[in-house]
Amino acid sequence: MSQSPTPAPIGPPDATRVPRYAEPATFARLPRIDQVSRADVAIVGVPFDSGVSYRPGARFGPGHIRASSKLLRPYNPAQDVSPWNVLQVADAGDIAVNPFDLGEAVQQIDTAITEVRSDGATVLTLGGDHTIALPILRSLSRDHGPIAVLHFDAHLDTWNTYFGAPYTHGTPFRRASEEGLLDLERCLHMGTRGPLYADSDLDDDARLGFAVVRSDDYEVDGVRGAVDRMRARLGDAPVYVSIDIDVLDPAHAPGTGTPEAGGLTSRELLNTLRGLNGLNIVGADIVEVSPPYDHAEITGIAAAHVAYELLSVLAKGRPA
C-alpha cells in the first residue's frame, strides 16, 4: 500500500514579508496547533501562579514569552540546525487552570498535558510557577517510568510544605520523589545558590534523589565542567528538563518572583543546554517568568532563547 508522504513542516511566516509585530502572538510566530495536521512538539502555556511564596505575576509568563519570541530566526548557527524545518512545532495555546483550587489546578494540568501528548507531541511548557512541574511529571512517568529530572534553578524546590500546603512552587520535586516519579540515581539541580532554611535541606534533597551542580561550580569548572557532570549524571535515562528562569542572575532575568544574586549568565545557560545533544529528552518546561517585574523584555527574551535552544536540541535528536 502506498503511504502518503509526511507533509513538510509549516514554519513561521517570512519576517521580510510579514512584520514580526503583526498578528496575535504564537511562540516564535509558529502555527497554532489547529493549523497543522500533526505536531512533533507542542508549546503549551500554563498561566498559573497560585503556588508562589513571594512575588506573583508568573500567570502572565506564557503571553510574555510568546511576545518576546517574535525576533527568533529560523537558523541556529550555534547548533547548526533549522528547527522549524526538521520538526513540526506548533503552539497549543494555554491551559485553563483554576487559580483558586491548587488540587484541581494540578489535576487540570495533568489532564491537558496528557491529552496533548496522546497525539504524539513532545511538550514544551511555558509557565506559570514551578508548581506545574509536578503534574507534568505525573503524566510523563505514566509512559516513561521513573524520570531523570534536570532542574535549572536557584532553588532546590524539594521543600516539604508552606503553611501546610503540599502543592506549591517550592515543593514539586519532593512530591515527585515521594510519588516514585523520579529516577533517584539520575536527577540533578543546576545553578542552585543562596540561603536555605537549614543545612538539613541539602540532606533531604540528596535523599530525594538529587545531585547538585551549584552556580558557584560554574565559576570554578566552567560550562564544560558543568556539562560533563550533567551528561554523566543523566546517562541514557528519559530526561525532563525543568528550567526556572531564576537560575539566571537577576541581572539576566529580573522578571521573576524569588530572585537570588550570584546566578548564571544567559550565555552560560544557553551553552549548557547545547550540551544536551544526543540525550533522551521527553519533555521540558520554562517557568517563573513574571512580566510585571521584567524590564525591556530582558527576562522574556532570555526565556524565548532558552526555548529555542531546547527546540534545536530536540530537532537535532530527531532521526533523519
155 binds Zn ion, rule: CB under 5 A: yes
CB atoms within 10 A of CB 188: 20
The letter for the amino acid at 145 is G
Q: Which amino acid is it at 254?
A: P
| Chain centroid to CA 7 | 28
Nearer to ligand ALG by Cβ, of 146 and 257: the residue is 257
Q: Grid coordinates standing for 225? A: 565542567
φ/ψ region of 161 (left if φ > 0, alpha if ψ in -120 to 50, else beta) reads: beta
> Does 64 interact with Zn ion (rule: CB under 5 A)?
no
Shortest Å, Cβ 72 to ligand ALG: 25
The amino acid present at 314, given as its one-letter code, is L
53 makes contact, choosing from ligand ALG, Zn ion, none, with CB < 5 to 8 Å by partner type, with ligand ALG
Q: Answer whether 225's CB lies under 8 Å from 231's CB.
A: no
The residues pairing with 94 across neighbouring beta strands, listed in sequence order, are 45
Q: In terms of CB distance, is 165 or 211 closer to ligand ALG?
A: 165
CB-wise, 144 or 155, nearer to ligand ALG?
155
Looking up cell 532558552 gives 306
With respect to Zn ion, which residue has the nearer C-beta, 78 or 261? Answer: 261
Decide which of Zn ion, ligand ALG, none touches 285; Cβ closer than 5 to 8 Å per partner kind.
none
170 binds, among Zn ion, ligand ALG, none (CB under 5 to 8 A by kind): ligand ALG
Binding flags for Zn ion, 238-267, as an x/- string (CB under 5 A): ------x-x---------------------
Q: How far is CA 16 from CA 21, 91, 137, 309, in A?
A: 12, 22, 40, 23
Q: Which does 294 bind (CB under 5 to 8 A by kind): ligand ALG, Zn ion, none?
A: none
Binding residues for Zn ion, per CB under 5 A?
Answer: 130, 153-155, 157, 244, 246
